């Protein structure tokens, strides 16, 4: 059996592509999901990848879920914190619940999952944590103060935790995707999407497998000297 990897939000979109790439790389992959059981079952049938349900925003659920995976599958060597939601709206229209839920899941989920696996990685002197940020956490986005704040927080979280893990062979990195052709982006009105694509120098949306390839590298032994880094995969839309 290869090393064990958990991908949160792993049954759809970018998460699914990450799961499939890591499986190709030889990892024993587990997909975490929080909602649709029917789609999760279909995912497992189609990919052969086990899916475990828990809310990444629930601290105890993450501790329990990771303990169950470790007992049933094996010690967890890699975690990809991909799960995320949007609750868009301008500040004046945004409720506290909209703010809190995005922070709880998108940013809190990274803490919860890292807390659940870090000690085991430390004891084995090897670990990979990859956090999925966003171009909108780097550049900001109108109507997304919650999402942008959470994703920006992920980038800071990554740099700080990387310093704690480095001496133990644990690398902690982030990927900041641009606009990727997923269900989340498909929900954007066509007129808005056209304006977004017009601002991407390569002239198209990204594909989920292009993000997955970046994750694949960061989870490999080849990336042992890469930590505290944010890899921007955005077609040139935001450069700094």
Write out the catalytic residue numbers: 147
- For 143, counting Cβ atoms within 10 Å of its Cβ (0-12 exposed, 13-18 middle, 19+ buried), the class is middle
Residue 23 half-sphere exposure, CB side, CA atoms within 13 Å?
Answer: 16
CA–CA dist 24, 49 (Å, integer): 11
Cα distances (Å, whole numbers) of residue 87 to 50, 91, 95, 124? 29, 11, 9, 39
The DSSP result for 168-208, as a single string, is: GTEEEEEEEE-SBSSHHHHTS-HHHHHHHHHT-TTSS-B-H
Angle between helices 13-24 and 37-47 (to 10 degrees): 30
> What are the phi and psi torsion angles at 230 (to 5°)?
-115, 120
Residue 93 half-sphere exposure, CB side, CA atoms within 13 Å?
Answer: 7
């Amino acid at each position: 059996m290869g090393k064990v990897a958990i991908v949160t939000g792993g049954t759809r979109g970018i998460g699914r592509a990450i799961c499939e790439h890591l499986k190709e790389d030889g990892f024993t992959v587990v997909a975490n999901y929080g909602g649709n059981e029917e789609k999760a079952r279909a995912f497992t049938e189609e990919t052969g990848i086990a899916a475990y349900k828990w809310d990444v925003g629930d601290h105890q659920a993450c501790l329990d879920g990771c303990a169950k995976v470790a007992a049933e599958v094996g010690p967890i060597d890699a975690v990809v914190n991909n799960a995320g939601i949007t609750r868009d709206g301008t500040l004046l229209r945004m409720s506290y619940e909209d703010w809190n839920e995005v922070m709880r899941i998108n940013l809190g989920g990274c803490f919860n999952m890292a807390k659940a696996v870090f000690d085991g990685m430390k004891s084995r002197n090897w670990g990979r944590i990859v956090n999925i940020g966003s171009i909108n956490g780097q550049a900001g986005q109108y109507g997304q103060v919650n999402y942008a704040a959470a994703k920006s927080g992920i980038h800071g979280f990554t740099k700080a935790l990387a310093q704690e893990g480095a001496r133990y062979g644990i690398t902690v990195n982030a990927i900041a995707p641009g606009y990727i052709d997923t269900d989340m982006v498909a929900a954007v009105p066509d007129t808005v999407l056209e304006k977004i694509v017009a601002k991407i120098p390569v002239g198209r949306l990204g594909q989920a497998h292009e993000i997955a390839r970046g994750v694949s590298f960061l989870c490999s032994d080849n990336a042992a000297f890469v930590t505290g880094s944010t890899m921007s995969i955005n077609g040139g839309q935001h450069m700094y």
